[in-house]
Chain A
Amino acid sequence: MICGVGALGSTAVHYCRNLDAELRVVDFDRVESKNLAAQWFVKQSVGKNKAEAIRLQLANFYGAKAEAMGVRLAATNAAQLLADCALAVDCFDNADSRIALADAARTAGVPLVHAALAGDGMFGIVRWDERFVADREDVAGQATCEGGEHLPMIGLVGATLARAIQDFVRAGDRRDYMISLSGVVRTT
């Protein structure tokens, strides 16, 4: 289950389209035209719910299946959304949602991997929950990369996350990575 399909989540889910697994995508938000510069959405998706847009793009462009959940994940519904999940993936853009997902995943015993990006678009991490602590924004609701200036780094972090997901699904590996302009380094 991929939670949050903005910049990192939408990129990672497209790199997981060949995975021998059922993908569930969770996001309450809608695609806006400004998202096209930094997120893996196409013009025809503007106005649609992001989870539904991902489902349609995977089906129409790649013949891949996904389940779309167009809701906001919260403490009240997290357990229900996580039902039957073998893996949860956190690509949220705020600490509160990351913490709500982590609490629910720990309670349900569902493995959880997080991906996160610095505001300057020059650094990111992919880290499993047992070693992850959510960083808070400097200002609540702080936006990043609406103009697409960080798109190459988003692609790099999203692809690294997809690799971590694939390694887990195929072999149960839980590898952490740190991504900077210097390269991608495995940290555990």
Chain B
Amino acid sequence: MAILNITYQGQSADYELELDFAASDDDIRRIAVEVVRSGGVRGLHVAQLSPRAFDDFVIDRLRGTDGAQRIYLRPKVPFGA
């Protein structure tokens, strides 16, 4: 199981229920839309969120500092210089 963290419009928060670490990218994006719409992610409630809001987002599967498996759904970061 894994913790899902969602970053959207500059706000980042964890979803309190754990997901299957091996869930597909499409499933993660679909779940993220539902939980953000429903207010299930503290600080990230967008009732009218587009079903395609996360289509271009990146999914990272990492092990956190506490050893827990974490899934990050985040915007692309192509820029630096």
Interface residue ranges, A against B (CB under 8 Å): 4-9, 27, 29, 90-95, 98, 114-120, 122-125, 131, 133-138, 142, 144-145, 176, 178, 180-183, 185-188
Contacts and interface: CB of A to CB of B under 8 A. Distances in A.
A122 B70 CA distance: 21
Given A123-B7, A123-B10, A180-B11, A188 B79 contact: no
A51 B43 CA distance: 41
Contacts of A131: 60, 62
B80 to A, nearest CB: 4
A7 B7 contact: no
Contact of B81 (A8, A136, A178, A187): A8
B80 A136 contact: no
A116 B12 contact: no
Interface string B52-81: 000010101011110000101011111111
The 5 A-B residue pairs with the shortest CB-CB distance, nearest first, are A6-B81, A122-B10, A181-B10, A4-B81, A116-B77
B9 to A, nearest CB: 6
A94 B11 CA distance: 25
A187 B43 contact: no
Contact of A95 (B12, B78, B81): B78
B18 to A, nearest CB: 17
A180 B72 contact: no
Contact of A135 (B7, B11, B64, B77): B77
A112 to B, nearest CB: 13
A116 B79 contact: yes
Given A178-B74, A182-B10, A118 B79 contact: yes
Most buried by A among B60, B74, B78: B78
